Amino acid sequence: MGGQAKGKKKNKQRKKENRPHKDPGIVGLTPQERMKVRMHEKAKRKTAEKYSAEQLLEKTEECMYRFDFEMAGLYCQRALDLEATNLHALDMLGQICSELGDTQKAKEVFLRAVELSPDTGHSKYMSLGQIHTAQAAVDYYTRGIQVLLSDLDQQVQKAPPQDAALFEEEPEQLTEKDVCEAYCSVAEIYLTDLCMEEGAADSCHQFIQKALQYHPDSPEALQLMASYLFSAEKHQEGKEYLLRSVGSWLPAQKQAAMASSSENVTQMEIPPYESRIAAAKLLIEAEEYEMAVDVLEGLLEEDDEVVQVWYLSGWVCYLQLQRAKEPQEREGSGPAGEEDDERKDLNEAARFHLTKAKKLYGKLRCDDEPVLAHVEQLLGELGGEVDGEDDDPGAEDHCEPCSDDDGDDAPMEH
């Protein structure tokens, strides 16, 4: 009996010795968490057997092109499981996290890329600048510009002979336009987050000037200069920059609205939607109403569910109506037949657009109370909302620009 008991004890001891050592990565985890870790490791092994990191990143790009960022994130993470220091994968994952609204994860990813490669690759710094605000954003943008200029200089030095370049597929090249856009990003911070800081106006002006040195015809830089000059009450000079900016892309927007085949032209030559809304506001402030109408018509053609665009369209028609009334008010006489028809058309156009803005405001549950208050004020002056309109705004536009000379209407506040 005693011997048998002793033998059992030895057997138990041998069993214990034969157990595999626990993975330190799962020590202290709950059974559910351990199972999750093991499943993840198993998935990594299967992925490595089927796909390379390069193939997974190709699938990531395909998903991003389809705006399927959830699936893109899964593929990209699998690629990083295989190559944890792949800078391209880190950059893509950071972008995906930003698109999904996970700014904290995006910061972590971009900062990891900075840790791995602090002196090459400017895009991670630009992305960190977009995520942050105020001085932190300026610091990241500034560092990104330093890296960009260094990379651009090296690119020029390493450029292959012209004949060799004809037979080799070169990666996407950095250009002076990239430098211009980077300087514009810094200037915008001084126009917004840091506008109340001492010396902000001078800093803003300097960065815009640097942007224009690298790309003198940049619509973004020209528009920023116009905005800066308007804020400095240099309206005529600002107007000249604004007209140069809008004139460089407005024909392309009109072409895009007329023919779907101009998609490539749209992507290359027309600024982003939000930038064109800002341009419309500046045009209204500069009393360039006809051009503002052209810009707003193009925006409605692209997307007719943006409250701000309907509101601005109604506002510019209202201002045109006030301008059309000026000759009558100066002369103290009644309007002629054609003038009366024009005013009626402008009144109806303003009411139409403002009614659309108000209905869409409610539908989308917006929270911009000053816009809603101004819409209701203007509708009150114009005779109320238009009856019988559908709740969903359509692309139809009733606003006819007035051809009278510039009046003395007060510029729109923005």
Report the candidate in 217, 239, 215 with the shortest Cα–Cα distance to residue 227: 239
Name 334's Cβ contacts closer than 8 Å, sequence gap at least 6.
328
Q: What is the pLDDT of residue 50?
A: 72
Which stretch of 2-16, 273-287, 331-345 has the lowest confidence by average pLDDT?
A: 2-16
At which residue do the structure tokens 């004020």 appear? 377
Between residues 8 and 137, the one the model is more confident about: 137
Encode pLDDT of 312-365 as tens digits. Answer: 999 999 999 999 887 766 665 555 556 678 889 999 999 999 999 999 999 999
Q: What is the pLDDT of residue 185?
A: 96
Average pLDDT estimate for 21-41: 61
Encode pLDDT of 204-262 as tens digits. Answer: 999 999 999 999 999 999 999 999 999 999 999 999 999 999 999 999 888 877 765 44
Q: What is the pLDDT of residue 58?
A: 94
Q: How far apart are CA 326 and CA 275, in angstroms?
A: 32
pLDDT at 171 over 80: no
Structure tokens at 250: 């407005």
Name 98's Cβ contacts closer than 8 Å, sequence gap at least 6.
106, 127, 130, 131
Query: Average pLDDT over the chain, rounded to whole?
Result: 83
Structure tokens at 206: 């300097």
Percentage of the chain beyond pLDDT 90 is 65
Q: How far apart are CA 228 and CA 204, in angstroms?
A: 8
Average pLDDT estimate for 156-174: 62
* 3-state class (DSSP) for residue 124: helix
Give the global pTM: 0.77
How remote is the C-alpha of 200 from its chain's centroid?
23
Which ranges of 304-404 does DSSP label H, i.e. alpha helix? 307-331, 337-364, 369-382
Report the candidate in 92, 112, 94, 114 with the shortest Cα–Cα distance to residue 102: 94
Encode pLDDT of 354-406 as tens digits. Answer: 999 999 999 999 989 999 999 999 999 999 998 865 544 443 444 444 434 44
- pLDDT tier for residue 72 given thresholds of 50, 70 and 90: very high
Q: What is the pLDDT of residue 412?
A: 43
> Which backbone phi and psi does 167 adopt, to 5 degrees?
-105, 0
pLDDT at 5 over 90: no
pLDDT at 169 over 50: no
pLDDT at 21 over 70: no
Q: What is the pLDDT of residue 147?
A: 96
Report the candidate in 153, 146, 158 with the shortest Cα–Cα distance to residue 182: 146
